[in-house]
Amino acid sequence: TAVGLSVSDDRATVMANVQKLVTAYNTMQGQLHALGRYDAASRKGGPLLGDFLLDSAEFQLTRGMTDQVAGVGSSAASLAAVGITTSADGSMSVDSTRLQAALTADSGSVARLFSGSNGIATRLGKVLDNMLASGGAIAARDANLAASQKDIISQTARLDAQMAAVQRRYLAQFNALDSLMSQLQSTSNYLTQQLANTAKIGNGNTG
């Protein structure tokens, strides 16, 4: 029995996957901006404001998405060429009409743009692997921060011990001064009384 088989591109799925990639990228960019932004109204900055590691990560990921891909026809050599553009705030948007047209014109080039050996997915994978590796930049920064935190805890403990010793010394000095003042006050009272008695004796003899 003869069976007819028709093979065609599943463009709807391709476009949906492209939109998922763009959505995930925009979410990531939002997180990176939140970590590094400065709010002039509240005068507060993100926890990684001005941090080189954050700036480097954002730069590498942005280039991984937006740089042209070698070995792909000029009609699909970059995201911009297939209708995926970047706005001023760094977020991306998909022009479905242009993407559909690019798939219709040369679906193979579009596929290589995303999943080829030099494609966007490959580039992003390498960047992320380097960042997330056990000996990568993030792990190294995490280790440095952990060591700094440990050192701060140690310094705080030493400072607490020093302050406790200072407190004990000052308390001992205060108690000693309080005792001395009590003794001096007693001596003063005694002398005042003796002088008063001497004055009475003197007055009695004169009379």
Q: 87-127, pLDDT tens digit by residue? A: 988 899 999 999 999 999 998 899 999 988 889 999 999 99
DSSP code of residue 94: E
Q: 129-157, pLDDT tens digit by residue? A: 988 888 888 898 889 889 999 999 999 99
Instruction: Name the residue with tokens 């990639």.
Output: 21
Band of residue 202 on the pLDDT scale cut at 50, 70, 90 = low
pLDDT for position 196: 84
3-class SS at 47? coil
Indicate whether this model's pTM tops 0.75: no
